[in-house]
Chain A
């Protein structure tokens, strides 16, 4: 049981280093659903203050925050719109709309991807392959294109969903069966993969193996790894689900990778080596259909089950896959970890703060911040917890210390 110690130590080191923190891309600064932010108010009494509210349209796009700006997207009346707000006041700074289908296949439709901040740029990939590079300050289009029209990439059943990953000069996309990369400055295609299988729905996750950076991707029929610089496939671990939905990002700890999908599939811990990864254990206890689990202190915390079933928030041990607790009725919500606490938004819009503990789930604060359906994980940045529902209502919950 070496790794939990290493993990918690590193968190302690990080947490002493900073108080506030941006959340510039999907899954936050560490790309794993954790934030190093400390000192935020986790024990409000009564209702927490809501700094601002906005409505961005139908969808499940998460919020990203960088340099005082908050960016997300939604769909209304035949158009997707990418919005940029002042992160603290909620004043609308800019927006950009373009024609898009609703895409209401087995759900209400709307945007599913998440924008990515990179310095003074914002990148956005739509469900239907529209790829934009905006100036973060003005919303001016630096370049744009449609990757489906330009390449032979197939649109997966529910459209492209993974956020663009910025890695050095590249923008890595979960498009094609094993990803695609474009030059982030120009949008020119640098490499692409075959299209026998469809893309999955996760966001490319970079990890360093030896001297090379590789990206982990959920594809239609597998989780796989590609060399970011060249696009060369490193390994592919077959992982079938009923509708080819591998959506939850892998959760990485050193050479161990937890993968998990819904539709009754379950999860597995893979050990990476020189060749194909090897399954250490498999479990049906944690089946993350949409939002991935978060690893903290040797335990995974995440929603188990499908959107159509009553889900539980669960805690399982990373080393063994053993279930520690289950909180029923959570639904297809999401969870992140900051300052040793879970920040959980359940599918019904209730925000809960609870110590991240394998012993029990015991919220120390809770508030009904939204109604409707919340399938989007909350986001913490600089003392504000950003929540949204499927109708596109955003509640920026102010938890800055007094």
Chain B
């Protein structure tokens, strides 16, 4: 398997990487708008949609969502922003078959990513896929393979690969100013407390709940899940490690050239939020309220930690990455930009502010422009699928170790767990019929 080295991305960015032109049959001359569709038309999908709309390079032809109300709201927004009248679809497969869009944006919950993406690629579209790439490792591998087979571009929503303070912070780190890095600590802390169950309800009028659950187990509808809460349900996502973790682990792999760790060990639980509940009448979320995952790399140790309680201002930074080097500590954060704290007393603290799009604090405009440029220039984008796949694998390995209560040894070349049949089974999951797990 070809590894997505940093040099690859860098070279590609310079436009010197010659990709075959032939497969890009639908890539249009610059200036011509690409037909675009969105699958998963909720909050984040519409954030990406707005970028596509304001880029002036896309024509919205279709939207898909399993909820009729969400579709109607999104269609109205597209119309407000662009004057386009996208066709609404309940079933994304019908959208792909009828519209054959040049670009598909995928902003569904994690458990849908693989099927949505692979089907879109097979229908000939370039894909903007939200992170993490998959809900399980082998889904993500299948996406990588499909992108290769179809020779389409997949940009993943890891906007921290292009955010200005991340780029300059990474340049600073790679310049050697931090010295020899021996340890990395990644974290995202927030507040919270004990969780009470909510009553299950009938799904909202006009929503196909069975379709929403899709390949995951069917469970009673609950407002804790939708809209927005599914990240904290293991059937559909992987909690904070799968959400925030992938962004910061991606910074590490961006720095080290995409090299995998050798071993992973993760603990965590719900001592504060309380035991997960799922009955016919009520439910709570079920992801851990805190986790600590250790990634044992060849040359350094990387620790992830998150906590959803005991929020306070006792720590200088609540979110981000600390790179601990022989010359000092570099913090690359979110709204707090990046800061270098030198070890020597004579050293100078250095800092750069973030430059984010608010209110949601991202850099989607840059990421979308890079995606469009990559299509025009027939090069790989900054958060191309191979690199994004590897960054997505790390939280998923953490979740496997957490479930099994033991460390796992990772053979990165084969993408297999060494000597652990039970753990390897968790690289995939059973799909609910009629949905079929993608084959690698």
Contact = CB atoms under 8 A, between A and B. Distances in A.
Interface of A: 101-102, 104, 106, 148, 154-155, 157, 196-198, 221, 240-244, 264, 284, 306, 308-309
B201 A154 contact: yes
Nearest to A154: B201
B434 interface: no
Decide if the interface of chain B is mainly helix, strand, loop or mixed. loop
Given A241-B73, A284-B80, A308-B359, A102 B193 contact: yes
Given A241-B73, A308-B359, A157 B196 contact: no
B223 interface: yes
B205 A197 contact: yes
A154 B205 CA distance: 13
Contacts of A243: 227
A264 B80 contact: yes
B80 A240 contact: no
Interface residues of B, number: 25
Given A101-B196, A102-B193, A240 B223 contact: no
A243 B202 CA distance: 17
B146 to A, nearest CB: 32
Nearest to B70: A242
A157 B359 contact: no
B69 A221 contact: yes
Contacts of A154: 201
A244 B46 CA distance: 16
B311 to A, nearest CB: 11
Contacts of A241: 73
Contacts of B192: 104
A157 B199 CA distance: 12
Given A101-B196, A221-B69, A309 B359 contact: yes
Decide if the interface of chain A is mainly helix, strand, loop or mixed. loop
Nearest to A263: B73
A241 B77 CA distance: 10
B211 interface: no
B357 to A, nearest CB: 11
Given A106-B228, A240-B72, A241-B73, 9 more contacts: A148-B199, A154-B201, A196-B202, A197-B204, A242-B43, A243-B227, A308-B359, A308-B360, A309-B359
A244 B192 CA distance: 25
B287 to A, nearest CB: 16
Contacts of A240: 69, 72-73, 76
A284 B46 CA distance: 18
Contacts of B205: 196-197
The 3 A-B residue pairs whose C-beta atoms are closest, nearest first, are A308-B359, A196-B205, A240-B73
30 contacts: A101-B196, A102-B193, A104-B192, A106-B228, A148-B199, A154-B201, A155-B198, A155-B199, A155-B223, A157-B223, A196-B205, A197-B204, A197-B205, A198-B204, A221-B69, A240-B69, A240-B72, A240-B73, A240-B76, A241-B73, A242-B43, A243-B227, A244-B69, A264-B77, A264-B80, A284-B80, A306-B359, A308-B359, A308-B360, A309-B358
Contacts of B199: 148, 155
B73 A242 contact: yes
B86 to A, nearest CB: 16
A272 B196 CA distance: 44
A198 B43 CA distance: 19
Contacts of A197: 204-205
Nearest to B74: A242
Interface in B350-405: 358-360
Contacts of A284: 80
Contacts of B228: 106
A148 B201 CA distance: 12
A221 B228 CA distance: 18
A237 to B, nearest CB: 14
